[in-house]
Structure 1
C-alpha cells in the first residue's frame, strides 16, 4: 500500500488501497523502464508495463499498434495511465528521429488517445511527448540519428542554430555569410529528410496540444530533448508555445529534458490520486546557481527545476520552512557544466564543494529531507561531491540523489524519486539511492570512462557506440572495476558479485545487478548508519 503521512492529506485518502498505474515508457532502457517502475513500486503502487517485445530498443522501433492495444486491454482496472506519445506514434523515442512513417499515418495514431478516452472516460491520462533533439555534432548524436548525421551533424546544428538566431535576434553580416556557407555543406536530400521528419513531429505535437485543450488528454508535457539556446529544437519550442496560447500550466507544459518525464508524471499521478500537493524548496551551490544554463538545455536550470516540481504535482518555493523536501542542486561556480569524463572531475573539492555539502548538513540537521540534483558534470556524478558525502557519512541520509545524463534528467529524477521516497520505508529509499550511486557515480563517472579508454586493446571489432566483438571483454572489465569501487567506498555492504550488462550494445547504458539480498543489505545498512 502507498503509505502517506496521513495527517497531511484529506481524510478521504486514508482508506484508499494500493493503486494501479499503466505506464508506457518510450523505450526499454533500464532508466526508462525498470528503474522508473522500481521507484513507484517501492512507494507501494502497482505499475503495469507492456511486454518488453512491444517496446523499442536501440535498433528496433517497437510496436505502436501493439502498445495501443495493450493500453486498451489493461486500462479497465487502472487508476491512471502515463503514456509516451513517442512510443504510441512511432514505436520509441529513437524511432521518432529515424522513422519513415507518412504524416497521415502519424496523425491517424493520435486518434488512439481519443479512443482511450471514449472507452475509459474516467481514466486520467498523462502523456509525455518530445520535440526532436538537435545534437551539437556527430559524437553527441551517438547512433540515434539518421546515418547522415555522422557526416553532416556539425553543419546541421550550426546552420539551424543560425536560422533560429536570425528569427529571434537577427544576424550580423558575418553570421549571414556563415549561414550560407554552412547550408552549402549539407546536401539537399539530407536537410529535406531531417526537416521533413521534424515537421511531422511538430504537427503531431500540435494535435496532442489540441487533445489536451479539449480534455481528451488530462495532462501533456512536451520535452525538449538535447537542446541549446539557439537550435532547431528551441525554435520549434517557441512556435509550439505560441500555438498553445491559452493553455493552463495545470494541464500543459513545454520543458527542457525528456528521459525523466515518465517518473515525474507517475509521481504527479500518485499525488493527484491522493490529493497531495507537496511543497518543495530549492537551493543551489554558490556561484551562478539557478542562473546556470546547462549543457543540452536552452534555459536556466532554475526554470527547469520549477517546471519539474510542478510536473510532479508539487509547489516550488525558496523557503525550506514547512517544505516537504528541499532539492539542492550542485552547480559549478562558473555556471558551466562539464562532461563527467573530463580530468576536472576528480575527488578534489572545487571552489564550492565544501560549502555545498555544509548546506546539505545544515538542512539534514534541521530534519528537512534533502534531494540532490548533481549537475556540475553531464553524464555522470561529481566525484568531489561524492567523496565529500562519503567522508561525512551522508550518502544514505539523503532522500534522493541523481547525477546521470543531462542536467534536467538529474534534477527531474531527483524530484520524482525524492517525493515518492518521502512515503517509503528507509530500506526502500536506500535501495534506490544505492542504484543511483552505482549507476551515476561508480559506472557513469568512472567505470564507463575507463572501459572506453581500453576498448582499443580488446580483440575484434567494435566501439563504445556499438560494442560488437568487444562486448564480453567490456563486461568483464566493467564488472571488475565496479566491484573494486564497492570494495573501496562501501565495503560494509559486502558486495561480492556484480553483473554488468549493456542492453543497447554500447557503453552509455548499463544494467548493473548485485547478488546481495535486499534484506541482507538493510541489515548491514542499519548496522552501519544509525
Structure 2
C-alpha cells in the first residue's frame, strides 16, 4: 500500500494528467451477468471505455470458453488498451466451471500460462491485472458445476478435506482420525484421485501466477478463495499459498474471499490506476459483532477481508479521514451469524441494530458523503428489514451503491467497486445501477425466487437446476413479479422497460435488464 501511495503522489506532484476514458480490455471468468454484463455496465456508466471478447468465446454453463480465441483477442486488444483485467481461469482452463472439471495436462496448462509472459514482452507498458481462483470445496453441489460424482460424494469429500486441514492446523482426536480413515475408504478411489489431481494442477498454476507477479509481469495478481470454509481444502491451499506468496506487498498481490467479485474489483482498480485516483474509504458496521463476523462461505472475519476488498479495488481504508471519498456501511448480523436470505428469519420488521444502522447511513448522507451499503447480514440475498427501513427513510435512490447478493465477498466487491465509481456516473446511470441490485438482491434473491419455486417450479416437478421447457413460463412469471416489486418499492420508473432472464437455465441467478 505504501508503494501505491508513493507512486500516485509522485505522479500528481509531477503534474501528470488523469487519463480520460481509458481503454480497458476485460476477460471475465464466464458469461454470467455478475461477471460480464454488470461489470462492463458499471465501467461504462462511469464514462470509461471497456471492451470484452465475443460472448461465444467466453465460458457458459455447459461450454468452456475457447482459450485460443480468447488469447487471440487479448493479444489483438492489447495494442489499443491502457490496461487489461484478465481471468486466468478463462485463459488457462476455459472458465470457472472448467477449472473444476478440466482434464488438461500440466504441460498444456503451463503453455497457456506462458502466454502472460509473452504478452508482457510484446507490450511492456501494458498494465495487466490478473485474477484467479483457489478451487472451491463446497459442502454439496448440483447442476454440473463440479465433476459428476461430486453431487453424490461432495459431502464426504468436503469432510475429508476439513479433517485433513485440521490435522495440519491443530491435530485430530482419535475419533476424528478414525472418521477420516472411514471416509477415505468410503469414497471411490478413482473419484478422490481425480479430484485431488485436478486440485494439485490448479494449485501449481496459482504458484506460477505468484511467480509471474514477483517478476513484474502483472500490475496486480488477485487470488479468490471461492466458497471457502474455515476448514477445507480451499483453506488449506490458501494457507500454503500465503507462505509461497510471502514478501509480496498488498499493492501487488492479495488473496481475498469470493470469486464472482474478482472481475469487478480489478476492473475498478485498473480504472482508478490509469486515472491516478486513490479513493479513501471509511468503514462502519451495524451494531453488534461487526467486524468479528465470519460470514457464511468464508474463512476470515470481515475486519480482515474488508480492507483487502478496498485495496484490490485501488483504494485504502482510512477511517480517520474527515472527508472520505466513500463511506462503506456494512450491514453485518448483530450476533455475527449470517443466515440464508430465503429463511423465515429474514423479516421486514427492523430490530434495534438495523434501526441504528440506517440512522447512521442517513446521517452520513445528510453530511453530504458518498455512501455505499454492503448488506452481508444474510447470504444469497438482501436483508428485508434493512431495505424496508431504507425505503421508509426515502434513501434508496440516494445511495452511491448497494449490494447484498450471494456471499459476503461477492457483496463487498460490488459495494466497494460500484461505490468508488459512482461519483463519476450521471445520476440516472447511478440509479440504474442501484435498481439492478435492488431488483436482483432484494426482490429476486430474498423473496421472488422462493415464491417461484413454490408457485411454478416445484408444482411442475422441477428442482430448479435445469429449467429447460419450464424456462419461458418461469421467465414470464419472474418478469411480472419483478415489475410489480419495482412499482411498489422503488422510485418512479417505467416498469415495462424492465426485463429478466435466467442466463444459466437455472433458478440460482437472474439477469436483470433495464432499457
TM-score bracket, normalised by the shorter chain, equals: over 0.9
CA distance in 1, matches of 2:514, 2:312: 32
Kept after mapping to 2: 8 A contact 1:143/1:465: no
Kept after mapping to 2: 8 A contact 1:458/1:470: no
Q: Which residue of 2 aligns with 1:84?
A: 87
Q: How does 1:33-112 map to 2 (within 5 A)?
A: 33-112=36-115
- Residue 135, structure 1, aligned to residue 138, structure 2: yes
Corresponding pairs, count: 505
Query: Is the alpha carbon distance of 1:439 and 1:72 closer, same or farther for their aligned partners in structure 2, counting shifts above 3 Å?
Result: same
CA offset at residue 49 of structure 1? Answer: 0.1
Q: Which has the higher contact order (CA 8 A, sep 6+)?
A: 2
Query: Which has the larger displacement, 82-91 or 275-284?
Result: 275-284
- Residue 228, structure 1, aligned to residue 229, structure 2: yes
Kept after mapping to 2: 8 A contact 1:337/1:376: yes
Q: Give the RMSD, CA atoms, in angstroms.
A: 1.6
CA offset at residue 161 of structure 1? Answer: 0.3
Q: Which residue of 2 aligns with 1:463?
A: 463
CA distance in 2, matches of 1:488, 1:262: 33
Alignment deviations for residues 71-95 of structure 1 (CA, whole Å, 9 cap, x no partner): 1011111100100000000111111
- Segments of 5+ residues of structure 1 without an aligned counterpart are 1-7, 516-530
Query: Is the alpha carbon distance of 1:116 and 1:436 closer, same or farther for their aligned partners in structure 2, counting shifts above 3 Å?
Result: same
Q: Which residue of 2 aligns with 1:179?
A: 180
CA offset at residue 15 of structure 1? Answer: 6.2
CA distance in 1, matches of 2:398, 2:337: 28
CA offset at residue 175 of structure 1? Answer: 1.4
Q: Which residue of 2 aligns with 1:523?
A: none
Kept after mapping to 1: 8 A contact 2:32/2:504: yes
TM-score, normalised with respect to structure 2:
0.95
Q: Which residue of 1 aligns with 2:123?
A: 120
CA distance in 2, matches of 1:364, 1:491: 18
CA offset at residue 104 of structure 1? Answer: 1.2
Query: Which has the larger displacement, 43-52 or 268-277?
Result: 268-277
Query: Which has the larger displacement, 91-100 or 243-252?
Result: 243-252
- Residue 251, structure 1, aligned to residue 287, structure 2: no
CA offset at residue 143 of structure 1? Answer: 2.9
Q: Which residue of 2 aligns with 1:389?
A: 390
Q: Which residue of 2 aligns with 1:282?
A: 283
CA offset at residue 64 of structure 1? Answer: 1.1
Q: Which residue of 2 aligns with 1:475?
A: 475
CA offset at residue 178 of structure 1? Answer: 1.7
Kept after mapping to 2: 8 A contact 1:329/1:374: yes
Q: Which residue of 2 aligns with 1:448?
A: 449
Q: Which residue of 2 aligns with 1:492?
A: 492
**2:369 match: secondary structure:** coil
Alignment deviations for residues 178-226 of structure 1 (CA, whole Å, 9 cap, x no partner): 2122222211111101111000100001111101100112210111000
CA distance in 2, matches of 1:257, 1:205: 16
Q: Which residue of 2 aligns with 1:293?
A: 294
CA offset at residue 492 of structure 1? Answer: 2.3
CA offset at residue 457 of structure 1? Answer: 5.3
TM-score, normalised with respect to structure 1:
0.92
CA offset at residue 463 of structure 1? Answer: 2.7
- Residue 405, structure 1, aligned to residue 406, structure 2: yes
CA offset at residue 13 of structure 1? Answer: 5.1
CA distance in 2, matches of 1:255, 1:123: 24
Alignment deviations for residues 120-147 of structure 1 (CA, whole Å, 9 cap, x no partner): 1110100000000010123xx5431111
**2:138 match: secondary structure:** coil
CA distance in 2, matches of 1:82, 1:155: 36
Q: Which residue of 2 aligns with 1:30?
A: 33
- Segments of 5+ residues of structure 2 without an aligned counterpart are 1-10
Kept after mapping to 2: 8 A contact 1:320/1:368: no
**1:151 match: secondary structure:** helix
CA distance in 2, matches of 1:267, 1:247: 21
